[in-house]
Amino acid sequence: DAGVIQSPRHEVTEMGQEVTLRCKPISGHDYLFWYRQTMMRGLELLIYFNNNVPIDDSGMPEDRFSAKMPNASFSTLKIQPSEPRDSAVYFCASSHPGLAGPTDTQYFGPGTRLTVL
């Protein structure tokens, strides 16, 4: 299996622009997670989906952030408008339930490094 695929790997944009990050989970995994990693705040869970349905978006920082999962093999995280403080590495992860529940063994993608100027 190719693992979790994220695109782009790097994104540089200017403040106010729309940014769309993409994720393809591992086939057969029914949970998908979006995380943000920064030096100041560490790794934060933004939102997660089960069977394409958003379950918990309490980590989404504000209305400028939105996430969708139109089908089992694709998800997007959109920031509109982007701000410099959104600069971070964004990870997508997928999993299927195990003994530790839905958040058992998550498989992370390589991340998208976003820089907002």
Partner 1 sequence: GNSVTQMEGPVTLSEEAFLTINCTYTATGYPSLFWYVQYPGEGLQLLLKATKADDKGSNKGFEATYRKETTSFHLEKGSVQVSDSAVYFCALSIPYNNNDMRFGAGTRLTVKP
- Which residues pair with residue 77 across a beta bridge? 21, 67
Q: Does 109 bind partner 1 (CB under 8 A)?
A: yes
Residue 12 binds partner 1, judged by CB under 8 A: no
Q: Which stretch binds partner 1 (CB under 8 A): 21-29, 64-72, 78-86, 107-115?
A: 107-115
Asked if residue 45 binds partner 1 (CB under 8 A), the reply is yes
Classified as helix, coil or strand, 106 is coil
Alpha-carbon distance of 2 to 5, in angstroms, equals 7
**Distance between CA atoms of residues 94 and 105, nearest Å:** 9
Strand 112-116 relative to strand 10-13: parallel, antiparallel, unpaired?
parallel
Residue 110 binds to partner 1 (criterion: CB under 8 A): yes
Chain contacts with partner 1 (rule: CB under 8 A): 4, 33, 42-43, 45, 48, 55-56, 91, 93, 99-111
